[in-house]
Structure 1
Amino acid sequence: MAFREMIIFYLSLFVLISASSSTVPSAYQVLRQYDFPAGLLPEGAVGYSLNSATGEFSANLNGSCRFKLEDSYELSYQPVIKGVISRGRIQKLSGVTVKVVVMWLGVVGVNRKGENLEFSVGIASANFPARNFDECPQCGYGLGLY
């Protein structure tokens, strides 16, 4: 009887360990936890790190990525994106640039302003409805905004 109880104990322990290791949220789920839509990151995030005490994060893509945002902008993501995240705010962002007319500018921050997202390039900012980023864009394709 003790052997059977030992087998049940080890099987239960294995199930608990397996369940706990599969509950690590994806980078997209972490964005949602901080009140951002998942579509701030393109498809293909292969990992991330987050210091929950300081908010410092890095997200890893499976390569560089570019896509059109509306007719006026083109976004470019490097393979590694870094910044500091808190609820409704991303600061010190690096690895994301936007092409405005003929000039590439680094996106340095994103703020949640109610139903809008404000993207800052330091000297200027632009607002977009947050719902436009509910779906993750695919690299090489446009992001269909409402």
Structure 2
Amino acid sequence: MAPNTKTHLGLTHFLLFFLSILTIPSLLLSDSIPTVYEILPQFGLPSGLLPDSVVNYTSSDDGRFVVFLANPCYVQFEYLVYYDKTITGKLSNGSITGLKGIQVQRFFLWLDVDEIRVDLPPSDSIYFQVGLINKKLDLGQFKTVHSCRDKVTGTCAKRIFEITRECGFFELVNHKLCEHDKRVADHLRKWHESLMAEARQCETIVEVEVGKVKVEMEKEVDKVKAEARRCETIVEVEVGKVKVEMGKKADKVKEKMEKQVGKTKAEMDNEIAQYRKEIENGEIKFQVMNMNYLTMLVGSWILFAFYVFFFRYTSKNQHGRRIGRMMLS
């Protein structure tokens, strides 16, 4: 029996379609989870801060992370840097704080790197906080991811680096001196922790005292405000009293002025009436005097005319007779 070609082709297409469906979720999953080297630039940090041997990492919403390396290893930057197998810290914009698992070598001593940060806005510098020392380095050497060496070249060199990373160069000179240095370092660490605890305690005390002062100041402010309101009320009452007193005085003055004006008006009316009477009396007297004057004038003319008439008839003077006729005419 001949094989069915169409059946085989249909089965082949179905298998290819099924395999493509199975591979799609894995592709989407790989695209949806960024690598640690992609996360660092999102926070303004160079991706070369971690070596190429990262196998896994975990992170939380508050920025805390845990990075797992294949093995402890070394990377040579400006200084030799040691990476532990597990690295922890807290990632924020432009910085990594609370860092554990990274050390830097300085003068045969291995020092813990507590914090790494960059400038915002970005610059060409990066800063490593090592204890109380803040070391400024060139940012360019951390832009690319470096290969991590799991050992130092040479048996002697490896032994020196391993010893100095734990104790320092003094382990090679004197073991007792190295132990002493360890005790001194431990004592300094405890002293540092004690100072930090005292600083936190002092900070708490200062915050409490500041809170007390703030409460006392708020109480004083409330007292001042209450006193101001009381004074304002007293001023308003006193102003009201003054207004009432001034109103009373103004009424008295007004009443007094009205009386004075009434009295003055009455006196003026009396004087005007008196003047009118005097004027009327003066007019009557003037009329009487005018009449008396006219009477005297007429009488004088009559007497004069009589005299002239008499002179006319008694005197033989022709001139006198003319005067008498003129007067009578």
* 1:81 equivalent among 87, 104, 109: 87
Aligned residue among 99, 109, 127 for 1:103: 109
**Greater C-alpha radius of gyration:** 2
1:56 to 2:64 alignment = yes
Matched to 1:50, the amino acid is: S
Normalization by structure 2: what TM-score? 0.37
Q: Secondary structure at the match of 2:128?
A: strand
Q: Does 1:22 align with 2:30?
A: yes
Q: State the TM-score, normalizing by the size of structure 1.
A: 0.80
What are the equivalent positions in structure 2 for 1:1-146 lying under 5 Å apart?
17-23=25-31, 24-51=33-60, 53-70=61-78, 73-113=79-119, 114-115=122-123, 116-140=125-149
Indicate the residue corresponding to 1:144 in structure 2. Answer: none
Please give the per-residue CA displacement for 1:55-106, whole angstroms capped at 9, x wherever unaligned.
0001111100113222xx2110001100000111100000000111121110
Identity %: 29
SS of 2:41 mapped into structure 1: helix
- 1:33 is displaced (CA, Å) by 1.3
* Residue number in structure 1 paired with 2:285: none
**Shift of residue 16 of structure 1?**
5.5
Compare the two structures and name the one with the higher strand fraction: 1
Q: How many residues align?
A: 131
Distance in structure 1 (CA, Å) of the matches to 2:130 and 2:46: 20
Q: Which runs of 5+ in 2 are unaligned?
A: 1-13, 152-329
**More helix by proportion, 1 or 2?**
2
Q: Secondary structure at the match of 1:42?
A: coil
| Counterpart residue identity of residue 104, structure 2 | V
Q: In the TM superposition, what whole-angstrom CA distance separates every residue of 1:111-131 from its partner, at most 9, and x where no partner exists?
A: 111222111012101112222
Higher mean displacement: 40-49 or 112-121: 112-121
Q: Contact 2:54/2:69 (CA < 8 Å) preserved in 1?
A: yes
